[in-house]
Structure formats: structure tokens, C-alpha cells
Amino acid sequence: MICKLIDFKIMGDERSSLIALEENNNTPFDIKRVYYIFGTKSGVRRGFHAHKDLKQIAICVSASCKFHLDDGKNKNEILPDSPNQGLLIEGLIWREMYDFSPDCVLMVVASEYYDNDDYIKDYETFLKELE
């Protein structure tokens, strides 16, 4: 598989489940940013880029969506559909996200602040970067 899935320990008690993300404890990098994607309309496909340096963990905290991942040689489809599973995306990986269920909330924990210059948005440029 191109990217690793991280299983987070579920805590909580008889009232509910609870998961805590702790920088460099159960995440393999310093956390600079957290964002979440919700209300994605039916049929929408997003992403279509790679990152030069960014490391991220994507967690479907509610419902599910699919990830298409491509390292230039291999392609994978991954369905992170559990709030205790994080998809670690690091290195030069082309990603696309699709098949969002209507109630999907995709939370992403990132190693850097938002930086448009870190994006590679053209697939041919992505392949050249890998050479």
C-alpha cells in the first residue's frame, strides 16, 4: 500500500468513545494546522495535487470518502471509514478524494501552515518531480 493507515486508540467510557491526537505521541510530526472538509456535494472529486513537503493525516471522523493515491508507479484506492483510522500521506503522493457520503467530515492534521507554493497541481509536473 502506498500510504500507511494509523490505528488510533479508542478511549472514552460507557457514555461514548473518545480519541486524542497528541503531537509526536500518536502523530509522527509536529502539528501546525488542522482543517476539515464537510458538506461535499454528491459527485464532487477534489484534491488533484501532490505536496512537496507537507505531511498529513486524514481521518474521516464521520462517515466516509475514498482516496485515490498515486506515487507515480503504483495507484491505490483507500476507504478510510472509521474515526479511529488515520491515513498518513507523506512524500510525493498524488491524491484525489471522491465518493463523499453526504454526512462525511474529513479532518486533516497537517505538519505545516497552509502554503499554496507547496502544491503541485499538474500531473505531468508531479511525474517530473519524481525523476
- Work out how close the CB of 48 gets to ligand T46 at its nearest, in angstroms, rounded to a whole number: 7
Q: Binder to ligand T46 among 56, 78, 100, 111 (CB under 6 A)? A: 56
Establish if 36 lies at the interface with ligand T46 (CB under 6 A): no
Candidates 14-22, 23-31, 33-41, 77-85 — which segment interacts with ligand T46 by CB under 6 A? 33-41
- How far apart are the C-alpha atoms of 109 and 71, rounded to whole Å? 21
- How far apart are the C-alpha atoms of 68 and 121, rounded to whole Å? 15
Query: Looking at the chain, how many residues does it have?
Result: 131
Establish if 47 lies at the interface with ligand T46 (CB under 6 A): yes
Q: Which is nearer to ligand T46, 12 or 35 (CB)?
A: 35
What is the total count of residues that contact ligand T46 (CB under 6 A)?
A: 11
Q: Binder to ligand T46 among 17, 35, 76, 128 (CB under 6 A)? A: 35
Q: Which of 56, 55, 61, 58 is nearest to 10 (CA)?
A: 61
Burial of 62 (0-12, 13-18, 19+ CB in 10 A): middle
| 49 annotated active-site | yes
Query: How many other CB atoms sit within 10 Å of the CB of residue 103?
Result: 10
Contact predicate 47/58, CB 8 Å: no
* Residue ranges in contact with ligand T46 by CB under 6 A: 33, 35, 37, 46-47, 56, 58, 95, 97, 108, 114
| Residues with active-site annotation | 49
